[in-house]
Amino acid sequence: MKVAVIGGGGREHTLAWKLAQSPKVEKLYAIPGSAAMAEFADCISIPLSDLEGIAAYCASECIDMLVVGPEVPLTEGIADICRKKGLAVFGPDRAAAQLEGSKVFAKDIMKKYNIPTAAYASFTDGHKAKEYILQQGAPIVVKADGLAAGKGVVVAQTVEEAVEAVNAIMEDRIFGASGGRIVIEECMMGEEASLLAFVDGEHIVPMIAAQDHKRIFDHDKGPNTGGMGAYAPAPVVTDPIRQEVIKTILYPVVAGLANEGITYQGCLYAGLMITAEGPKVVEFNCRFGDPETQVVLPLLDGDLADIMYACTQGTLDEDMVKWKAAAACCVVMASEGYPASSHKGDVISGLEAIDGDTIVFHSGTAKKNGQYVTNGGRVLGVTAVAPTLQAAIDKVYDNVDRISFDGQQIRRDIGAKGLKHLQ
C-alpha cells in the first residue's frame, strides 16, 4: 500500500523508519518530511498548515493510509478533511483530538467518567484564578488550556510562582490564544511515565511503557522542554499497574468519549503519575510522543503498517502487536539556547561513526552542501536497543559521544531512574 506520514520531526522520522520496514508498504511519502526522511520516503513540500492541500494531494495520489504525527493538524481537523475524501487516516478526528487540544475538555471528561487525575479548577478570569491559588497554597500546577508545544505547564513551588504563571499565560499571553483559559490543579506526588496505545474506536492495545525526561538539565533541573530523552520499558509501570491503567484509564476514556458521540481512533497517549494511591492521569495526548516513539517503535516486533491500517478499519487485534524482549534508550541532542531559542546552521559531525545497529532519528536538521546542519531546538535523537536497560544506556552514550556540533546540549542521566527500580 501507499502510505503518507504527515510531519517532519524526530517522531515522524521514527514512524517513517518503522513503516518503511513493512513488506506491505510499496511506497512511502512524507509531507513535508525532512532531508533525513528523504532516505526512504518521497518528501512533498506542502506546509502542515495547508490541510486541504495535503488532503487533495493524498487523494490525487490514491494514498491508502495517512499517518499523522503532530498534534496541531489533528486538533485542526486534518483527519476529518481527509476522511471526507474517502482516505483512511491513522489519527483522531478534531472532536477526539480535543483530549489534547483542550486541557479543560480533558479534565471535564475525566471528572465525568471517574478517571483518576489531580483535583482541579478551570478559569477564564485571571483574578479569580489568583484568588483560588491563594486559597489552595503551593505547590500547585498551572496549565494553559490549549496547545503550547509541551511547554504550557508550570509546576509552581510557591504561590508567587503560580501567580506569575497566571499573569504570563492569561495576561501576557505567552502561548497566545491557548492561554485564554487555564487549569489549576493539585500537585501530584510520584513518578511520571507514558503509556501509549493503539485504538481502533473500540479495541485498545497498549504499547510498552516509556519514561520521558522533560527538563533540560540532569537531575530534572531547569526549564521544561519537549523531551530530552526516553527509555522503555519503564519498570515503574509494573504489570499490575499496567493492568490498572488499562482498566481505570484507557478503556473508560475511550468509552466515555463514545458516550459523548466521539469515536477515538489512532494513538492515545496517557501521561501518567504513578502515585501512592495508584496511577493517575497527568495529561492525554492524541498522538505518538516525542521522544517516546523513538524508544517504543524500535522494540515493536510487528508490522506497524498492518497495525495502523487495522486501527483505521476497526479490526485491531492484540495478536498483531508483539514486543522484543529488550530495552531501548534515546538521548536527545539539542542546540545551543534550547528551549528558549535555537541555534541553526551548525555543522553536525560524526554521524558516519555510529554503530550499524544504533539509530539516529533527525528532529531538527537540514542538509547544506551535502552535510547535515542544525535546524531546530531538538536536533537529533540517538537510540540504542540492547538486551538490558544498562546495556542500552551504555551503548547510546558511547554513540552520542561520537557526534558533535557547536553548543550541543545533552543530559547524562537518561534511564537512571529506571536502573534504580531494577536494583
Q: What angle do CA 9, 297, 267 make, to 5 degrees?
A: 75
In this structure, are 174 and 195 located in the same domain?
no
In this structure, are 156 and 202 located in the same domain?
no
Looking at 158, 180, 202, the residue that finishes a domain is 180
What are the residue ranges of helices labelled H in 230-367? 239-245, 251-259, 293-296, 304-313
Phi, psi of 417 (to 5 degrees): -65, -40
- Note the pTM of the prediction, 2 decimals: 0.96
Looking at 180, 214, 243, the residue that finishes a domain is 180
In this structure, are 64 and 134 located in the same domain?
no
In this structure, are 33 and 164 located in the same domain?
no
Name the residue with cell 518530511.
33
Cβ pair 115, 293 in contact under 8 A: no
DSSP strands (E only) in 49-190: 65-68, 89-90, 120-123, 140-144, 153-156, 182-186
Q: Assess if residue 380 is contained within a domain.
A: yes
Q: Assess if residue 197 is contained within a domain.
A: yes
In this structure, are 267 and 353 located in the same domain?
yes
Looking at 69, 93, 117, the residue that finishes a domain is 93
In this structure, are 136 and 233 located in the same domain?
no
Give the other-Cβ count within 10 Å of 337's Cβ: 12
Q: What is the pLDDT of residue 311?
A: 99
In this structure, are 304 and 357 located in the same domain?
yes
Q: Assess if residue 137 is contained within a domain.
A: yes
The domain that holds 26 is classified in CATH as: 3.40.50.20
Q: Assess if residue 211 is contained within a domain.
A: yes
Q: What is the pLDDT of residue 150?
A: 74
Closest alpha carbon to 94 in 106, 85, 81:
81
In this structure, are 319 and 242 located in the same domain?
yes
Q: What is the pLDDT of residue 210?
A: 99
Cβ pair 2, 62 in contact under 8 A: yes
- Return d(Cα 330, Cα 405) in angstroms, integer: 18
In this structure, are 174 and 210 located in the same domain?
no
- How confident is the prediction along the chain (423 residues), in pLDDT tens digits per residue? 999 999 999 999 999 999 999 999 999 999 999 999 999 999 999 999 999 999 999 999 999 999 999 999 999 999 999 999 999 999 999 999 999 999 999 999 999 999 999 999 999 999 999 999 999 999 999 999 999 877 789 999 999 999 999 999 999 999 999 999 999 999 999 999 999 999 999 999 999 999 999 999 999 999 889 999 999 999 999 999 999 999 999 999 999 999 999 999 999 999 999 999 999 999 999 999 999 999 999 999 999 999 999 999 999 999 999 999 999 999 999 999 999 989 999 999 999 999 989 999 999 999 999 999 999 999 999 999 999 999 999 999 999 999 999 999 999 999 999 999 998
Q: What is the pLDDT of residue 189?
A: 97
Q: Assess if residue 14 is contained within a domain.
A: yes
Number of structural domains (the chain) is: 3
Give Cβ neighbours of residue 243 (< 8 Å, ≥ 6 apart). none
In this structure, are 167 and 205 located in the same domain?
no
Q: Assess if residue 238 is contained within a domain.
A: yes
Cβ pair 29, 3 in contact under 8 A: yes
Instruction: Show the domain range for 56.
Output: 2-93
In this structure, are 373 and 306 located in the same domain?
yes
The amino acid present at 301, given as its one-letter code, is D
Q: Assess if residue 111 is contained within a domain.
A: no
Residues in the chain, total:
423
- Return d(Cα 77, Cα 95) in angstroms, integer: 8
Q: Assess if residue 185 is contained within a domain.
A: no
The domain that holds 132 is classified in CATH as: 3.30.1490.20
Closest alpha carbon to 14 in 267, 369, 370:
267
In this structure, are 291 and 338 located in the same domain?
yes
The amino acid present at 68, given as its one-letter code, is V
Cell matching residue 263: 469515536
Q: What is the pLDDT of residue 151?
A: 78
